[in-house]
Structure 1
Amino acid sequence: MSFPHIGNYHVAIEFLLKHVLENIQVLTPPPITKKTLELGSKYSPDFVCVPFKYNLGNYLEALEQGANILVQSGGGCRFGYYGEIQEQILRDLGYDFEFISLIDNEKVNPLAFFNRFKRLNPQLSLARFAYYFQLTFKMIEAMDSLDHMIRSNIGFAVREGSFELLHKEFLRELAAVEGFRSLDKLYRKYDALFRQLEVNKPDNPLRVGIVGELYTLMEPFSSCFIEKELAKKGIQVTRFITVSYLLRHHPQSSDLLKLAGNYLEYEIGADGTDSVARAKMLAEAGYDGVIHVKPFGCTPEVNSMPMLQNISNDYKMPILYFSFDAQTSETGVLTRLEAFHDMLMMRREANRWQNVI
């Protein structure tokens, strides 16, 4: 069995599948590379959004390594149609496999998950599934919590690479947890270790929030590692959307519309409403800028852009827009980030002199 990559969450997904499908070998596809994108793009419709191409590339690499069961999750926009189209493309290419959709555009339903896994592993008990399902979610919450700390401090590390090295150690040990107690012990251990890393963080660093479509936010390769590049420039990065946020901590649509204020009257689908609401929150919190990321042609995020621009104008907060596709130039992304950073620095300096005067 195999599944698509998204950030480091493959660690938790593999953990769950191994413990509830003991009769099936779990095959994590190779890390995403340019080859993954090239494979996915070769067999995808030209104008489909780029997460589709990454997913298809993941499947092709997994199938070539011997996978014969593929898992897809479903979603609230065109992502909800990925499964059927990807399955047809792969069958047309001659692959023989079983395709399983875990969510089918419904809200996450643990009982529906259990029924699908039970079909694959008739020996699976509801108690065992419930235990490992909850444990996996706690793993994801631990990952997201530490990632938030890393995001806030990695750009100010005294020893280059210290955060990355410790994070790799954490993920390696995370894959081997045995239960809730060992997970809690592991989390407290690495929470302390990350806090002990030496940083040289100014009292008022440049702060940039990132909003947009969930895949390009959570899969760093798909956005040319924007967060890492911002950290290199000594910028504190804030991102709201994570798996635990989407599954448990995501506000109701009505609450997001309240957060968006006068900028939105109706929900605009997928993550678009969230992008507007969070951008307004970041502006009110005095952030220096916001970066909006999306796959090329992502309709909900395209719909959010006029409201984002109104927020930018009203709060005098710069917003940088990125649309990613298979043809996106990494050099172009880095050049635009460099210019954005320079502009934020000049604005900060201009404001400082105004305050002096």
Structure 2
Amino acid sequence: MKATFPHMGRMDIFIKGIVKALGMEAVVPPTSSKKALNLGVKYAPEFVCLPFKLMLGNLIEAFERGADTVIMVSDRGPCRLGLYGLPMQIILKNLGYEANWLILNTPHALHGLFQLGIEKEVVKYRDKLTFVDGLLAFHFGWKKMLAIEEIERLSLKIRPYEINKGDTTKGLYQGMEAIESADNLYDLKKAKDAVIKDLRSIPQDRNRRPLKIAIAGEIFVVLDSFANLDIEKKLGELGCEVDRTIWFSTHILHHVGLDKFMRRSKGKAVRAARPYLKHPVGAECNATVGYAILYAEEGYDGFIHLMPFTCMPEFVAGAVLTRVSKDYNIPIFTVELEEHSSQTHLMTRLEAFVDLLKRKRQKRQGLEGSRGD
């Protein structure tokens, strides 16, 4: 069995860790690129969203590497992610790629992962693997994912202070490689600790006062740096401290009901949005609106809303966010992403947004100073 899966942020490290721990071969697609996107655009329906096209391109490249089994995430509700599996199977079959499919439908995705390697129609290991094997494999993959997210969070805090532009990004990528190569929990902890030490040793100017910006929106484009044109890196190098609302771990914890006591859980965000959205719209819509409110109340300078072009739930969120921006006096910038999105165009718009936030902060500080006089 050669299992593959489409990219969504660094989900590959999580699933690859599980697959390898179960003694199977993981065929990881090449990192998402223009080639993968072009393949997806070529074979996908024209008006389907960017995540579908990128995932399809990932799978085509994985099949070219010999994959014969696909692990595909799914979901419920108006988000079309829940429908991706079947049309992808049809498209790939028409291209001559036959495969076994394991579709993980949240909130039952964890059960599906435990069954990986045990289901008769997927692999023939029923007598070789047990539930305990699945549990241990999941634990190792989970620990790897948490390690990756820990250094990603740290990089978001350090990047706006770095003296030499690019040091943080270089250290982050090297750290991800070190963590990904760890084959056991001892090596994993050792690698993570070394990466954290290296990141903290990056020369920094702590006299800076970076703008604080939160990023929310549709889960795929928030998590995937290729899909969002490396927006976190761009903002950090513009002197902004970024806080991402969605992580793969928090998404899983929410679906199994273990995020209730987190400072900014998805449930809290959904409740915060109730004055504007009385009913669940689907996908991340309600949470996106709620996060804008929560971060505004915490005094953040700005809020960025990421969404794939044609994403219905996030279009609803974007309409509501216009009202939230006025009610809570927080600038909100919505970015619609599709295959024609341009790095240069996004950078120009980000620079304008950051300049707006700086002027707003200066104006606020001037008013506060005049009151003090």
Counterpart check, 1:278 vs 2:280: no
Give SS of 2:117's match. Answer: helix
Structure 1 counterpart of 2:238: 233
Counterpart check, 1:124 vs 2:129: yes
Counterpart CA distance in 2 for 1:115 and 1:231 is 40
* C-alpha deviation, 1:281, in angstroms: 0.8
Give SS of 1:265's match. Answer: coil
Q: 1:237 to 1:190 in 2, by over 3 A?
A: same
Give the TM-score, by structure 1 length. Answer: 0.92
Structure 1 residues 158-177: aligned runs within 5 Å = 158-177=163-182
Partner AA of 2:150 in structure 1: S
Which stretches of structure 1, 4 residues or more, deviate above 6 A after TM superposition?
A: none
Q: What are the Cα deviations for residues 229-268 of structure 1, in whole angstroms up to 9, with x where unaligned?
A: 1111111111120111101155587643333352332222
Structure 2 counterpart of 1:54: 54
Counterpart CA distance in 1 for 2:345 and 2:216 is 20
Counterpart CA distance in 2 for 1:106 and 1:353 is 49
Counterpart CA distance in 2 for 1:256 and 1:240 is 10
Q: 1:169 to 1:257 in 2, by over 3 A?
A: closer
Counterpart CA distance in 2 for 1:108 and 1:95 is 25
Counterpart check, 1:7 vs 2:9: yes
Give the TM-score, by structure 2 length. Answer: 0.88
* C-alpha deviation, 1:227, in angstroms: 0.9
Q: What are the Cα deviations for residues 304-350 of structure 1, in whole angstroms up to 9, with x where unaligned?
A: 12321111001221111111111222222122111111111221222
Give SS of 2:70's match. Answer: strand
Sequence identity percentage: 29
Structure 1 residues 13-52: aligned runs within 5 Å = 13-20=15-22, 22=23, 24-52=24-52
Counterpart check, 1:306 vs 2:307: no
Indicate the larger mover: 186-195 or 326-335.
186-195
Partner AA of 1:346 in structure 2: R
Structure 2 counterpart of 1:142: 147
Q: What are the Cα deviations for residues 208-235 of structure 1, in whole angstroms up to 9, with x where unaligned?
A: 1111000000001111111111111111
Q: 1:213 to 1:17 in 2, by over 3 A?
A: same
Larger % of helix: which?
1
* C-alpha deviation, 1:176, in angstroms: 3.3
Structure 1 counterpart of 2:346: 333
Q: What are the Cα deviations for residues 10-49 of structure 1, in whole angstroms up to 9, with x where unaligned?
A: 22322211121x2x43211111111111110111111111
Q: 1:144 to 1:254 in 2, by over 3 A?
A: closer
In 2, are the aligned partners of 1:257 and 1:266 still within 8 Å (CA)? Answer: no
Q: What are the Cα deviations for residues 263-302 of structure 1, in whole angstroms up to 9, with x where unaligned?
A: 3322221111111111101111111111100001111111
In 2, are the aligned partners of 1:257 and 1:265 still within 8 Å (CA)? Answer: no
Counterpart CA distance in 1 for 2:345 and 2:174 is 33
Q: Which ranges of structure 1 fall in alignment gaps of 5 or more residues? A: none
Partner AA of 2:108 in structure 1: K
In 2, are the aligned partners of 1:253 and 1:267 still within 8 Å (CA)? Answer: no
In 1, are the aligned partners of 2:273 and 2:289 still within 8 Å (CA)? Answer: yes
Give SS of 1:292's match. Answer: strand
Counterpart CA distance in 1 for 2:208 and 2:271 is 31
Structure 1 counterpart of 2:248: 243
In 2, are the aligned partners of 1:208 and 1:237 still within 8 Å (CA)? Answer: yes
Give SS of 1:321's match. Answer: strand
Q: CA RMSD in A?
A: 2.0
Residue-pair matches, total: 353
Structure 2 counterpart of 1:266: 279
Q: Which ranges of structure 2 fall in alignment gaps of 5 or more residues? A: none
Counterpart CA distance in 1 for 2:96 and 2:29 is 19
Give SS of 2:310's match. Answer: coil
Indicate the larger mover: 334-343 or 169-178.
169-178
Indicate the larger mover: 190-199 or 282-291.
190-199
